[in-house]
Amino acid sequence: MSDERTPQRTSTGPRKKRPFQRRKVCRFCADKQVTIDYKDPRTLRYFISERGKIIPRRISGNCSKHQRAITEAVKRARNIALLPIAGTHVLP
């Protein structure tokens, strides 16, 4: 007697999983109506982390020109207390 056991194989197609998709084009280049303004913390907040750090260009997807404008705007906004410098208090 031969006991044939067929191993069950679930056929899963090749799935490529990406960590997260980066935005290809810079948000400000794509949409000309969006302007970088240090008086507009809502736009800037999109480019800073919860801790108040500026998100690097390779993650935010900005071009160098606009990333620099963001950096400048964030720094200015910090000066006039529109944005936090160190974010909320970080507990150890």
How crowded is the C-beta side of 21, counted as CA atoms within 13 Å? 5
Q: Does 69 bind Zn ion (CB under 5 A)?
A: no
Out of 29, 80, 85, 86, the residue judged to bind Zn ion by CB under 5 A: 29
Burial of residue 69 (number of CB atoms within 10 Å: 0-12, 13-18, 19+): middle
Out of 44, 66, 70, 73, the residue judged to bind Zn ion by CB under 5 A: 66
Contact between 32 and 25 (Cβ < 8 Å): no
Out of 54, 63, 69, 82, the residue judged to bind Zn ion by CB under 5 A: 63
Q: Does 34 bind Zn ion (CB under 5 A)?
A: no
**Site residues (CB under 5 A) for Zn ion?**
26, 28-29, 63, 66
